A and B are shown apart, each in its own frame.
Chain A
């Protein structure tokens, strides 16, 4: 199969090219998935496929905090997100999630934007971004639009992005100083592990010790990213104790079955999802058992 390769230096150049070649272009945002897919691609296509590598566009790689909004350029690598002082300060669970991606090589190539648009149900950055109620800015020659992360996905590996659009940035309101968070992941090994289950927990605890706000987003057990409202409700307004936390964790397992049904792996995944959520809530609250 013949591939064309282009590496635009600016956003304008990229979107101009895409508007011309939107039917046969594929965006390269780190190539950690595209390369694998290309190797197994069937040859003998009529039109050459254009690979549009946007990782070299300097204006797409940044992490900053302004007026309480954290903005991450789509081409910021997992490594850079994981090392960002801003992220460590306002949302350390996102740094943990990005640090759990693949291996050092993959984290140095792969980008947060690539992770989002690839839309794998097991994507590591999505649970914390979902818990943070992140929003996305998409841009094309026609202009730009903003969508909520949760509205971006249509299903596994499916999103609403148009073929002539690129993801410019992901942004979210920096959580309150009083908030706490945790990300936990279960893989089949310690590194280079695709998540079998993961969970991101973001809590706000008021002065009386009650949970005033809760946000819980699991990964790898739902077809697309989403928060578990019943679990969040189980925690909100409560002083966290063993029973409350268990109840919230049970809701995650129940939601998993409600959405994905009972599968061969459910017998293992349901109790383990509960256990993982429980530990993540306690970890966010400062009780780390690992």
Chain B
């Protein structure tokens, strides 16, 4: 492997100082001279026909600049990453409480909000459907004319029924998972401006500026080139800003008023209108032989995508791909439904459908081990995918597979080694301790059949520094710091000489999304190609300066050297000055196209994947038998990110992921009843606080280098929050002997399970 100077080192985040000083301006901190303030009128009903919208009184209010409805959307009145089924502004029907009906622009935020009250909308309420399984019935009210089943996936291999007959042990259960909230610190917010030639610039937290650009252009009926999108910096996203949030509203306001505009929505509005994780109901039947070999897995998954599709279709495909865990299973019967309801829209969320099914399959595996009297770690080693194996969808694991490496490191971890000793010492007699382990894999990239590409630019600046551009936004994950490290090692310069441009269609080429654990792999590979082109250009100039042939130049650290006459060298800085004097520039581009799996699943896109990150996580819990409360005392997280570009960045991802997965397992759920959100802010939506975090989280990075990745890197942003949830519920079983098949495993649920166990 190439020797590196920066990659693999702990590097302080490039945005750290500004963030801790409060100097960094997030989207909600921006303001523009003469700007108006926008506010969105949301629906009053979860499902209703709109009979009439009267904006007269609102328009008359002093300080109101504009009131816009569906009639004011010049282009397509719809958005959606997969299909544009969500109206920008509803004209004839509302399908959930977050639906937008009108948009106000006013001199102040208060006036805008007051104007919302004056808009008169006449609704005719319709019967609603809130349960996805009921939504699948013929008799159900229709959320969309096209039917309530948005996507259906069915994959069969081998013969599950025969395997169930032969098997030594079969376990069959139904699981359900909550509607987790992204809970990014910065609610959806942004500003926009328009110039005299109707060029629009929008600053709004997002995860793919070029796709935002297309969606805005489509809704405005404008040439995308006239729209510039800036997505960096976003105050957190986790998938919740992958879809359009406010970009189109900002564009409409500036288009109709000619003035700059700003919208910042409240937490309560964000909770009602914003994306969530898909709640899923998972039926699963798994068979194993006496030695613990998994023989068959049958799964039927129903996913609630709410009122609109967004990425619900791909999420159910991804869930099915990951529904057998990171294991070899020869006989599978896997079926998934993505269903519309009148609930809050569900879309992309860190893990992308893997979290739900991993909870199910990792619990199944523990139950099988329990029945066989087998070790929980042993059964995972027995079935773990290795390079060259055939995975559940029938696709060959052609790329690096680090699962065994993560299992071995987990086994050697302090927590696993002294687990019996730690379990024996609960902090009180009414508390019981248990340990749980779980594994996961996580497809990186968009998967087979979807265009997945990325570009990077490098420019030698007149002062000898290099400006690098990658459009994958910085959403807090730290990709910009990793890009700087990768770029410095490919260019062969100091990280201090890199100027990073991120997430801006005006200054970066399209590098795709900051999602799908893909940005480091994509941006890094594009940088590699761009650096090669840069070196060619530098060599040409260096040869001219040193009066040697072009092919005689070797690029060394911060300089170009003559191969034949090594005393002849010229620094990058001198080259930059030379180029500047000649009135020229050195700029290069790198365009990278993702490799894909050879397996094609007819009729499906986005599955299977070629690359996966792998992970094993362990949790030590303490369950209070008097109250049912569960505390995660310690956790170990062993990710395989390929090469860890910035190990402390991987640790940060890992610790944050553990806590996010812990919230998913124990407390977090956006509760919606009859279309109405009951958990409207953070006093009732229970996120873990710093005091709820495990006292200790050990991250052990188990690198299995990926030959196709930049310096061997893959991705790790998502896998880190996945297996910790079943590791925690498996630990609850180990502590008190109850299987939690519904998460979050709240105090009541654990307490009730304990009582039921006593009775039986």
Please say whether chains A and B are actual partners in one complex.
Answer: yes
Indicate if the CB atoms of A268 and B428 lie closer than 8 Å: no
B424 contacts chain A at the CB level, 8 A cutoff: no
Does B427 make an interface contact (CB < 8 A)?
A: yes
With contact pairs A272-B751, A279-B626 given, residues A190 and B691 touching in the complex (Cβ less than 8 Å) = yes
Query: Is there an interface contact between B117 and A275, defined as CB atoms closer than 8 Å?
Result: no
Size category of the B interface is 20 to 34
The answer to whether B117 touches A190 (Cβ under 8 A) is: no
How distant is A63 from chain B, measured CB to nearest CB, in Å?
26
Judge whether A188 and B752 touch: CB under 8 Å: no
- A267-B752, A268-B751 in contact; A189/B114 too (CB < 8 A)? no
The verdict on B113 contacting chain A, using a C-beta distance below 8 Å, is yes
Q: Which of B266, B429, B683, B690 has the most CB of A within 10 A?
A: B683
Task: List residues of chain A with CB within 8 A of the CB of B751.
Answer: 268, 271-272
**Contact of A189 (CB < 8 Å), options: B266, B428, B692:** B692
Known pairs A272-B626, A275-B627; A191 contacts B691 (CB<8 A): yes
B691: which A residues are within 8 A, CB to CB? Answer: 189-191
CA distance A48 to B427 in the complex (A): 54
**Would you call B686 an interface residue if the criterion is a C-beta within 8 Å of the partner chain's C-beta atoms?**
yes
**In chain B, what residue has the closest Cβ to A275?**
B626
| B689 interface neighbour in A42, A191, A275, A289, Cβ under 8 Å | A191
Q: Are A43 and B689 in contact (CB under 8 A)?
A: no
Interchain nearest-CB distance for B699 vs A (Å)? 22
Query: How does the 8 Å CB contact mask read for A249-267 relative to B, with 1 for contact and 0 for none?
Result: 0000000000000000101
Closest to A192 in B: B689
Q: Which of A189, A265, A276, A289 contacts B627 (CB 8 A)?
A: A276
Q: Is B748 an interface residue (CB 8 A)?
A: yes
Q: Considering only CB atoms, which chain A residue lies closest to B748 in the complex?
A: A268
Q: Any chain B CB within 8 A of the CB of A11?
A: no
A39 to B692, CA, bound (A): 28
Contacts of A191 in B (CB 8 A): 689-692
Q: Are A186 and B627 in contact (CB under 8 A)?
A: yes
A186-B627, A192-B683, A289-B428 given; A43·B692 CB < 8 A: no
A194 to B683, CA, bound (A): 8
Q: Does any Cβ of B come within 8 Å of A241's Cβ? A: no
Chain A residue total in the interface (Cβ 8 A): 24
Quick one: which of B95-138 are within 8 Å of A by CB? 110, 113-114, 117
Complex-state Cα separation, A289 to B625, whole angstroms? 13
User: Is B689 a contact partner of A39 (Cβ separation < 8 A)?
Assistant: no
Q: Is the CB of A43 within 8 A of B430?
A: no
Complex interface residues of chain A between 148 and 196 (CB less than 8 A to chain B):
186, 188-192, 194
**B117 with A43: CB separation less than 8 A:** yes
Residues of B within 8 A of A186 (CB): 627, 629, 747
Residue contact A189 to B686, C-beta cutoff 8 Å: yes
A276 to B747, CA, bound (A): 14
Please indicate the chain B residues that have their CB under 8 angstroms from the CB of A1 in the complex. Answer: 110, 114
Partner of A188, one of B626, B686, B690: B686
> Of all chain A residues, which has the CB nearest B663?
A189
Q: Contacts of A290 on B, CB cut-off 8 Å?
A: 427-428
Given A39-B266, A268-B748, A275-B626; A189-B688 close (CB under 8 Å): yes
Add 16 more A-B contacts to A189-B686, A271-B751 (CB < 8 A). A1-B114, A39-B266, A43-B117, A44-B114, A44-B117, A186-B627, A188-B667, A188-B747, A189-B667, A190-B692, A191-B690, A265-B748, A267-B752, A272-B627, A272-B628, A290-B428
Closest 8 pairs (CB-CB, A-B)? A190-B691, A275-B626, A289-B428, A191-B689, A191-B691, A268-B748, A188-B686, A43-B114
Interface residues of A (CB under 8 A from B): 1, 39-40, 42-44, 103, 186, 188-192, 194, 265, 267-268, 271-272, 275-276, 279, 289-290
11 A-B interface contacts by CB (under 8 A)? A1-B110, A44-B114, A189-B667, A190-B691, A192-B682, A265-B748, A268-B747, A268-B752, A272-B627, A275-B430, A276-B627
